[in-house]
Amino acid sequence: MPFSTKEEAAFTTAVQTIDQAVARMENLVPQPAWTHLHGDDRAHRYVEHQARQALVLKSVRLSSALRAGWVLLQNGLVLDAGATMRAMDELDSDIMFIAGPLVFQHPREPRHDQYLAEFFQEEFDHPDPLQATQRRNRVSRRDIRAYVARTYNAGLPVSQVVAVTETIDATFSGYVHGAAVHIMDVYDGHKFVLPLQTTDRRLSDMMRQYVLYVHRAMMAVAVAAKAFGDSGPFELVYGAVHCVFTDDGEIRL
């Protein structure tokens, strides 16, 4: 079954609201500069490497992923939609991790500095990629989950929240890595079917889940907006969330 009229309206409101929020947020940080990279290569870059600049970029990426997942599901491509949903899981937690010190007004932890340094790092440090020497120093996903759990879930056991988050992440990881059991989602008992038809239960089940991702994307961008303080677009996003969704994440349109 295709997305319902209510789901279409919720999605449209979500992407429009997120785009408006991004436009507001990007005007509140130093703008990208036309930057020299290697040799004659130049490109636009945020040169200050600020946390709020990272939140702008993560919100842009989340907006793109939200659109991509919608189009993929509309066309029955559940394997690629699952991979996109897994990417959105990480984008949500990345935004909450980066925004935490700004939203709650507490000092950044060393892992925040480590994260930003790696996030803004160029892909290669040499014009010839084969001669590149730099290494990635990523903050582990486990550390990000733990920080988000203890920062945003006051009163709940951190280990329990982390376990739930890990389970959510694991649900769609196989779509990214091409696990056999996930690829079997497009086998109908006789042959592999690409794309799935709109009447296929596996597709309709994932489409129902995707509505939750629309809600979560809006909430993540609301957190990013909150990190910009009173001058940010928090009220815009938060108001749209409550206009479209109930507190339980159900569509109220």
Give 129-187 pLDDT, tens digit per residue.
Answer: 788 888 889 999 999 999 999 999 867 677 878 888 888 888 889 999 999 999 999 99
The predicted pLDDT at position 154 comes to: 66
The predicted pLDDT at position 247 comes to: 85
∠ CA 26-123-101, rounded to 5°: 45
Across the range 106-122, mean pLDDT stands at: 96
- What's the pLDDT tens digit per position in 78-99? 999 999 999 999 999 999 999 9
Work out the pLDDT band at 249, boundaries 50, 70, 90.
confident
The predicted pLDDT at position 253 comes to: 67
Work out the pLDDT band at 1, boundaries 50, 70, 90.
low
**What's this model's pTM, rounded to 2 decimal places?**
0.94
β-partners of residue 34 are: 44
Q: Which of 4, 6, 1, 2 is nearest to 243 (CA)?
A: 6
CB within 8 A of 173, min separation 6: which ones?
86, 179
The predicted pLDDT at position 161 comes to: 80
Percent of the chain, pLDDT > 70? 98
Average predicted confidence (pLDDT) for the chain: 93
- What's the pLDDT tens digit per position in 10-53? 999 999 999 999 999 999 999 999 998 877 789 999 999 999 99
CB 93 within 8 A of CB 144: yes
Gap between the Cα atoms of 193 and 221, Å rounded: 35
The predicted pLDDT at position 198 comes to: 86
Gap between the Cα atoms of 40 and 161, Å rounded: 48
